Amino acid sequence: MGVEIDAMDGGKLKVTGDLESLLHLPGRAVTDSFFFAFSDGTLIRGHHDIPTGRCHLTLATEGAALVRIMRTERHDCVVVDWKIEWMTLSCGSETLCPISVKSSDDES
């Protein structure tokens, strides 16, 4: 089945599918960035455009899953289509980073 992550106003993320949760991002995730790591090896990076309040989600590292990112008028939505055993959320640009990304590439 997989999971769908919908960014919402107020620094919240709604997760549905194999895992169900409403996540409230800490302030550091909104001002810096955040990452979702999945059991299949997929790594999703999220960051907020503070002037517009828009949440952007991008594929940082490709795992076994089929990943679709949809852009909406307000926020992005990502679908990770694979059986997800676990996922973890980390906040701050230095917590998780794909090897191919230099630390200077993550600064906004």
In angstroms, rounded to a whole number, what is the distance separating the alpha carbons of residues 37 and 51?
27
Q: Among 8, 36, 3, 35, which Cα is nearest to 18's?
A: 3
Domain assignment present for residue 106? The answer is: no
Contact 33, 92 (CB under 8 A): yes
Q: For 11-65, what is each residue's pLDDT tens digit?
A: 889 999 988 889 988 887 777 889 999 999 999 999 888 888 888 999 999 999 9
Place 105 in a pLDDT band, splitting at 50, 70 and 90.
Answer: very low
| Segment 77-106 mean pLDDT | 72
How many domains does the chain contain in total? Answer: 1
Structural domain including 80 reads 3-92
In the numeric block, which tokens belong to residue 88? Answer: 């973890």
Q: What's the chain's Rg over C-alpha atoms?
A: 13
Place 98 in a pLDDT band, splitting at 50, 70 and 90.
Answer: low
What's at 28, amino acid-wise? R
In the numeric block, which tokens belong to residue 107? Answer: 């600064």
